[in-house]
């Protein structure tokens, strides 16, 4: 591997899934893994196998189907964790065990309640043990950026000696600033005698909005692996956003002459998929993947771009997978045009998914005269939300509201685990009445934390994209639904969140995960 090659390590399915509310089911994780593999991502961290049966299954299934990317499983510094990761990774053609242990004074004293010597011994033991299962072992000193330098050097040197081929330095709490983080990496290169026997990686959190800047600063001084997530998903304020790292490297190759084999043209596809699955909307002004990232509002800018796009565009929309298209879709558009439109929008769907999406497009075109790109994106994204294994499904609903119908009334039929039941309920408004029906048919104690409606396009015939966030015992999930009927979209979003919560109930209590 050339020394300027940057290994792109995606942790959307592990750290990304640790975002409150961003839980994904197995099919959804497989779909994301397949897109990441198609993009050419070098390493996919598919989960934390000891965390739950669901995490184990995800790593295991992804390990079976992904051939071109290395599949990685996370493990704490215990044999039990490492055994579980190794078991989950068994089918992988290329597997990596990523083991970690906190090394900062704060974490060692309060979280681990371990003395530095015991931590050091556990580092050696965990890496040595992980090497029994694979040559590809990565070790991370959690809270690395707040670790004392002497101790960090000692642990890194020992981890390499014990067989770690990648040493990942996390800025776990997003505290570092670029010059300081670069200096930390440089310090390791200067002081750790066997540093040339490992690839140095960085894993930056975005609490101060510096995750990408810190990662790039580290690359400039010799780091050659970046850990990142699609759309910057991740714990708290998230991780370094892969799309920003990739486009910074591509656009500013003059300042950062490193190579990556990841296809930037697949960025939009990956971003939309992750956003649709998690229900985490991308903010319009988000770099690279925001709706406005390539939009020009001011007349002066528009004029400049028409004369020469480079006046205001430092990268082309095509380079991230956005294609400009003049194809107008309507009820007379055929399957071929629809398929072309999907490709133009960055979607590659299988025949069955195209068939389903086309049917929904025709239904939509019957309701709406003009179908815009945003409509098709909402429609396909809604299709992408895997509902096939849902325990609770909407069969039918009807709402009565208005000045003559006080209080608003809802009637609904739900299929719960194969049994169809109906009910009637009232509420303060139509949404409240509909959600009360759901609560009657499937009693639960989850709290509604967010109910958000977004009109996909302008006009009163626009599709409504609804997001619902539910919380139960500290676990939060987001559900989404898109329909021209806002009430149906609302119930679909509520049911999507409830179904995700049922999956999440099986997950291990997070407190059991602390080292
Ligand atoms: O942020 C962090 O320190 C982590 C480690 C497990 C690498 O996610
Ligand atoms: Zn992290």
Q: What is the pLDDT at residue 460?
A: 82
- Alpha-carbon span 510 to 515, nearest angstrom: 11
Q: Kindly indicate the confidence band of residue 328, based on its pLDDT and cuts at 50, 70 and 90.
A: low
C-beta of 203 in contact with ligand 1 (< 6 A): yes
DSSP bridge pairs for 172 = none
DSSP bridge pairs for 63 = none
Please report, for the chain, how many H helices and E strands are present, in that order. 16, 14
- Alpha-carbon span 55 to 62, nearest angstrom: 11
C-beta of 15 in contact with ligand 1 (< 6 A): yes
Rg (CA), the chain: 24
477: CB partners within 8 A, 6+ apart? 21, 23, 469, 470, 497, 500, 501, 504
Q: What is the pLDDT at residue 384?
A: 63
Mean pLDDT of 235-244: 96
Q: Taking phi first (over 0 means left), then psi (-120 to 50 degrees means alpha), and beta for anything else, what does residue 418 get?
A: left
Q: How far does residue 131's CA lie from ligand 2's centre (Å)?
A: 23
DSSP bridge pairs for 74 = 98
Q: For tokens 């390791």, what's the residue? A: 188
Residue 325 has pLDDT above 80, yes or no: no
What average pLDDT does the structure give for the chain? Answer: 90
Other Cβ atoms less than 10 A from the Cβ of 310: the count is 11
- Alpha-carbon span 156 to 149, nearest angstrom: 10
Q: Higher model confidence: residue 344 or residue 328?
A: 344
pLDDT digits (tens, 9 = 90+) for 378-426: 788 776 665 667 899 999 999 999 888 789 999 999 999 999 999 999 9
CA distances from 49 to 14, 85, 306 (A): 10, 5, 52
- CA within 13 Å, CB half, 410: 26
pLDDT digits (tens, 9 = 90+) for 467-495: 898 998 887 788 888 888 999 999 999 99
Whose CA is closest to atom 2 on ligand 1?
172
Q: How far does residue 174's CA lie from ligand 2's centre (Å)?
A: 9
The share of the chain scoring above pLDDT 70, in percent, equals 95
Q: Is 123 helix (H, G, I), strand (E, B) or coil?
A: helix
Q: What is the pLDDT at residue 3?
A: 78
Q: Higher model confidence: residue 348 or residue 472?
A: 472
Q: How far does residue 61's CA lie from ligand 2's centre (Å)?
A: 23
Residue 182 has pLDDT above 80, yes or no: yes
pLDDT digits (tens, 9 = 90+) for 20-72: 777 788 888 999 999 999 999 999 999 999 998 989 999 999 999 999 999 99
Q: Higher model confidence: residue 445 or residue 371?
A: 445
Q: How far does residue 235's CA lie from ligand 1's centre (Å)?
A: 9
Burial of 2 (0-12, 13-18, 19+ CB in 10 A): exposed
The share of the chain scoring above pLDDT 90, in percent, equals 66
Q: Which of 112, 142, 146, 152 best tests ligand 1's pocket when mutated (most atoms within 8 Å of CB)?
A: 142
Q: Which atom of ligand 1 is nearest to the CA of 168?
A: 7
- Alpha-carbon span 403 to 395, nearest angstrom: 27
Q: What is the pLDDT at residue 513?
A: 43
Residue 259 has pLDDT above 90, yes or no: yes
C-beta of 11 in contact with ligand 1 (< 6 A): no
- Dig out the tokens for 168 from the structure: 């990942």
Instruction: Look at 103-112, 284-293, 354-363, 376-385 and tell me which has the smallest mean pLDDT.
Output: 376-385
Residue 2 has pLDDT above 60, yes or no: no
Q: Which atom of ligand 1 is nearest to the CA of 205?
A: 1
Residue 77 has pLDDT above 80, yes or no: yes
Residue 509 has pLDDT above 60, yes or no: no
Residue 263 has pLDDT above 80, yes or no: yes
- Alpha-carbon span 335 to 438, nearest angstrom: 36
Q: What is the pLDDT at residue 356?
A: 85
Residue 508 has pLDDT above 60, yes or no: no
Q: Higher model confidence: residue 354 or residue 181?
A: 181
Q: Higher model confidence: residue 315 or residue 503?
A: 315
Q: Kindly indicate the confidence band of residue 318, based on its pLDDT and cuts at 50, 70 and 90.
A: very high
Q: Is 155 helix (H, G, I), strand (E, B) or coil?
A: helix
Q: DSSP letters along 398-428, please? A: EEE-STTSSS-EEEEEEEETTEEEEEEEE-S
Residue 510 has pLDDT above 50, yes or no: no
Closest among 185, 183, 227, 187 to 205, alpha carbons compared: 227
Instruction: Judge contact between 322 and 268, C-beta under 8 A.
Output: yes
Q: What is the pLDDT at residue 511?
A: 43
Instruction: Judge contact between 239 and 16, C-beta under 8 A.
Output: yes
Whose CA is closest to atom 8 on ligand 1?
15
CA distances from 78 to 155, 325, 337 (A): 16, 54, 55
Mean pLDDT of 295-321: 81
Q: Higher model confidence: residue 346 or residue 332?
A: 332
C-beta of 170 in contact with ligand 1 (< 6 A): yes
Q: Which atom of ligand 1 is nearest to the CA of 170?
A: 3
Q: What is the pLDDT at residue 515?
A: 34
Mean pLDDT of 126-153: 98
Closest among 497, 486, 488 to 396, alpha carbons compared: 488
Q: What is the pLDDT at residue 297?
A: 66
Q: Kindly indicate the confidence band of residue 506, based on its pLDDT and cuts at 50, 70 and 90.
A: low
Q: What is the pLDDT at residue 200?
A: 98
226: CB partners within 8 A, 6+ apart? 6, 7, 8, 9, 201, 202, 215, 218, 219, 240, 245
Mean pLDDT of 130-155: 98
C-beta of 260 in contact with ligand 1 (< 6 A): no
């Amino acid at each position: 591997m050339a020394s300027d090659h940057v290994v792109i390590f995606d942790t959307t399915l592990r750290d990304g899934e640790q975002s409150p509310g961003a839980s994904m089911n197995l099919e959804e994780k497989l779909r994301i893994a397949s897109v990441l593999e198609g993009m050419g991502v070098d390493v996919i961290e598919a989960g934390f196998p000891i965390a739950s049966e669901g995490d184990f299954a995800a790593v295991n299934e992804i390990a079976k189907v992904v051939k071109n990317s290395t599949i990685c499983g996370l493990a704490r510094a215990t044999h039990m964790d490492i055994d579980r990761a190794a078991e989950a990774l068994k089918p992988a053609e290329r597997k990596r065990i990523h083991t970690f242990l906190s090394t900062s004074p704060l974490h060692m004293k309060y979280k681990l309640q371990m003395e530095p010597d015991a931590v050091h011994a556990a580092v050696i033991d965990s890496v040595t043990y992980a090497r029994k299962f694979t040559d590809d072992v990565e070790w991370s000193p959690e809270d690395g950026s707040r670790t004392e330098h002497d101790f960090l050097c000692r642990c890194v040197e020992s981890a390499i000696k014990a067989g770690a081929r990648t040493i990942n330095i996390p800025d776990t709490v997003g505290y570092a600033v670029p010059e300081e983080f670069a200096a930390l990496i440089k310090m390791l290169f200067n002081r750790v005698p066997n540093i040339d026997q490992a690839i140095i990686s960085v894993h930056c959190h975005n609490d101060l909005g510096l995750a990408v800047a810190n990662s790039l600063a580290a690359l400039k001084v010799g780091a050659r692996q970046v850990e990142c997530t699609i759309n910057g998903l991740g714990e708290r304020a998230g991780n370094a956003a892969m799309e920003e790292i990739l486009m910074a490297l591509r656009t500013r190759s003059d300042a950062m002459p490193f190579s990556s084999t990841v296809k930037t043209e697949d960025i939009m596809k990956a971003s939309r998929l992750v956003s649709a699955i998690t229900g985490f909307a991308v903010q319009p002004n988000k770099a690279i993947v925001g709706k406005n990232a390539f939009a020009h509002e001011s007349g002066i800018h528009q004029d400049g771009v028409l004369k020469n796009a480079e006046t205001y565009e430092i990268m082309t929309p095509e380079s991230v997978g956005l294609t400009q298209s003049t194809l107008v879709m309507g009820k007379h558009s055929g399957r071929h045009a629809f398929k072309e439109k999907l490709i133009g929008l960055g979607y590659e769907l299988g025949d069955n998914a195209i068939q389903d999406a086309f049917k929904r497009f025709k239904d939509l075109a019957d309701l709406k005269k003009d179908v815009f790109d945003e409509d098709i994106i909402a429609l396909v994204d809604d299709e992408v939300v895997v509902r096939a294994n849902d325990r609770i499904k909407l069969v039918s609903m009807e709402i009565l509201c208005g000045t003559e119908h006080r209080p608003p009334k809802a009637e609904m039929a739900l299929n719960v685990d194969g049994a169809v039941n109906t009910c009637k309920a009232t509420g303060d408004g139509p949404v409240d009445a509909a959600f009360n029906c759901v609560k009657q048919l499937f009693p639960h104690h989850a709290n509604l934390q967010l109910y958000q409606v977004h009109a996909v396009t302008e006009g009163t015939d626009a599709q409504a994209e609804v997001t619902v966030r539910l919380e139960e015992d500290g676990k939060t999930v987001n559900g989404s639904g898109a329909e021209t009927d806002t009430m149906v979209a609302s119930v679909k979003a509520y049911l999507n969140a409830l179904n995700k919560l049922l999956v999440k109930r099986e997950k291990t209590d997070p407190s059991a995960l602390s080292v």
